Amino acid sequence: MILQFLWLFLISNKIFDIFVMNFNFYKNMLKAERHKYIMTKLIEDQKVVTTDLALALDLSEDTIRRDLNELDSKKLLEKVYGGAVQVKEKSDNVFDIAIVAEEQKKKIVTKALSLLHDDQVIIMSGGSTNLVFAKLIPADLKATIYTYSLPIAMQLSQHPNIDLIFIGGKMQKNAMVTIGMDVIQVVSKIKADICFIGASSINIKQGLTEVGYEISIVKKAMIEASDRVVSMFASNKLNTKMPHGVCDLTQLDTIVTELDPEDERLDEYRKSGVFIL
């Protein structure tokens, strides 16, 4: 009986040693090492607890808290009451697309809603203005829409009454649109009533111009395929220029900006014959 206890005692002593080793293992740790340890622990467990760390590293909780505050201010973790958790990946979600000046764009596209009618065949290019437009298309509109923009297709796929056709091809990843010959081929076979073209730049002489060559080609094909061509953009795009031409003003039927149609900044465009909404 005694022997059993003695044995247990020895065993427990061993365990105790291990404990002590673990406790004091990190005793002479530099601050940087500690931070690394904390970050590793955080990734392992999804969280760290102040008291646990103080125990594990044999330091006062105050020091741990200071560490956590420091790491928090570096945005490496998020401090919470009792410890810290992983900083939530803000842009991990590819799917939330930030739209700059969304209110302004809403104002623009709302005007263009009057151009929509049931049973139209519509082509939409990419761009955040067109995305806002897609959001605001009335739920009861019945139409066929072609697009080659992923975000716009995502948006329109929520729409109950729209026949949606995505134009496939090689993805231009930053703009999230397809480009290339496959796109041109499909677009050139469409007979659309109306197309909505985002604009990088517009001016009197060159008309619509684009920053990318491939996009400019696709837009040319869109215009060719549509009876009516509408371009929506904010007024800061007026009188600017990009390397690749898309079409001149005579090929545009309607432009839509946030300005009053009678605004003097649009005078020259109005003279060229394009309808201003």
- Give the residues lining the site for a second copy (CB under 8 A): 4-9, 11-13, 15-16, 28, 30-33, 36, 46-47, 49, 78, 80-83, 85, 91, 93-97, 148, 150-151, 153-159, 163-171, 173-174, 176, 178, 182, 186
Residue 66 lies near DNA (rule: CB under 7 A): yes
Contacts with DNA, 130-169, as mask; x by CB under 7 A: ----------------------------------------
For a second copy, give the closer residue by CB, 77 or 247.
77
Element (H, E) at 107: helix 102-112
Contacts with DNA, 74-113, as mask; x by CB under 7 A: -----xxxxx------------------------------
Cβ neighbours, 10 Å, residue 218: 27
In whole angstroms, how close is the CB of 30 to DNA at the nearest point?
7
Task: Please report, for residues 10, 14, 18, 21, the alpha-carbon distance to residue 7 in angstroms, rounded to integers and kept in the order given.
Answer: 5, 11, 17, 21
Instruction: Report which DSSP code applies to 265.
Output: G
Task: Please name which of 160, 144, 243, 158 lies closest in space to residue 195, comparing C-alpha atoms.
Answer: 144
233's contact among DNA, a second copy, none, with CB below 5 to 8 A by partner kind, is none
Return d(Cα 263, Cα 239) in angstroms, integer. 15
For a second copy, give the closer residue by CB, 43 or 204.
43
Backbone angles phi, psi at 226, to 5 degrees: -115, 145
Q: Are strands 47-49 and 177-179 parallel, antiparallel or unpaired?
A: unpaired
Residue type, 75: K
In whole angstroms, how close is the CB of 166 to a second copy at the nearest point?
5
For a second copy, give the closer residue by CB, 36 or 142.
36
In whole angstroms, how close is the CB of 268 to a second copy at the nearest point?
37
Task: Please name which of 144, 136, 151 lies closest in space to residue 226, comparing C-alpha atoms.
Answer: 144
Structure-block tokens of residue 23 = 């406790």
For a second copy, give the closer residue by CB, 147 or 209.
147
Sheet-wide strand order for 78-80: 47-49, 83-85, 78-80
186's contact among a second copy, DNA, none, with CB below 5 to 8 A by partner kind, is a second copy
The residues that touch DNA, with contacts defined as CB under 7 A, are: 31, 34, 49-51, 58-63, 65-67, 69, 79-83
